[in-house]
Structure 1
């Protein structure tokens, strides 16, 4: 592990609690136009459209588009399913941008601060650059760069997304570690040649409905970003 020079992070679910924030914003914004809704149910339904929409891009049936565009496309589908079609354009736009206003899990700030003196840090997210910048500014993420889908013009787990993140730092994939709370993401990164670290987020989709352990081989499995920093401490000292 002492050869690793950069850590690249999944963001939605790994670093930020999307479900709580989206539920809160949905109830507030839709309630403002007279639509009473179960925010958590809407957040879950909206997120459930995430991978199918990206698969349309990965398969070439849709051109690459920034995640805001996919989120808006998916929101229109979900509002129809929730009998909330009367939500106006301004409300739909504001709710789409709620993904720019997510809050970090409690361990993230201290964990990234401990890692930054020793590693180059960047998101490797399906979120586009403007979205990643807004989340970084909101949560004080100390990124050295922004990598991910917009840079690669494709979506994870396509190999090009991970490889372009390593290449952005002029590093071979094996000198770069992907950090995520999702086994499928880490499997894609490993197949692209990156090292992998799993962060447990057992409550990402609600209590006990996230991943508490990886289902694929990984280099490191920990319960928080702070624990990741501790786990990598020996590698730092051996450099």
Structure 2
């Protein structure tokens, strides 16, 4: 396993990093020219850094602008613009489109920072795509993550501090935080920072026995989640 906490990449067309031997096999791609993705058995999480970008699938065609994002589970082609695509190998997600990314986070995080789930986990353990928002004058508490993170700076400026070095972050910077890599983010006076971040796994999400539909189905005053005899096997 890579012993460094942080790796950054040039914004170049094609495969940037292959984490296929990871517990959560993931490949990081970027596009700066027309390209296609045809890998069967993968789900692709993408962010449009500069648009417009046209996504063409077997059944539909979509046009996305800058600050929009997507999740695609089957083959598709990208035309125009540039951005990143994170491929979760061996996982079948749910197609979705969204955005633009808002200017603030809907969930409280740490040290004054906030977060929004852009593509939430469909079920417990699934990957997710987030937006992280760092106000100005943040010096975050040093921390680690149990699995890798892919990040892309979409607005503002700041830095990522690791035991090895301090790395400047500007719009378009693409990076990976490796598993258990110690790091923290900093911003300066007058400069906020917004990062799109991919998590390959999640300890949050619905389960077969715990989700809004079954929880809020009431039989004689009792939630169906508590009645094993009628739950779908």
* TM-score category (smaller protein): under 0.3
Greater relative CO (CA pairs within 8 A, separation 6+): 1
Please identify which structure carries the higher strand content.
2
Please identify which structure carries the higher helix content.
1
Larger Rg over CA atoms = 2
- TM-score scaled by length of structure 1: 0.25
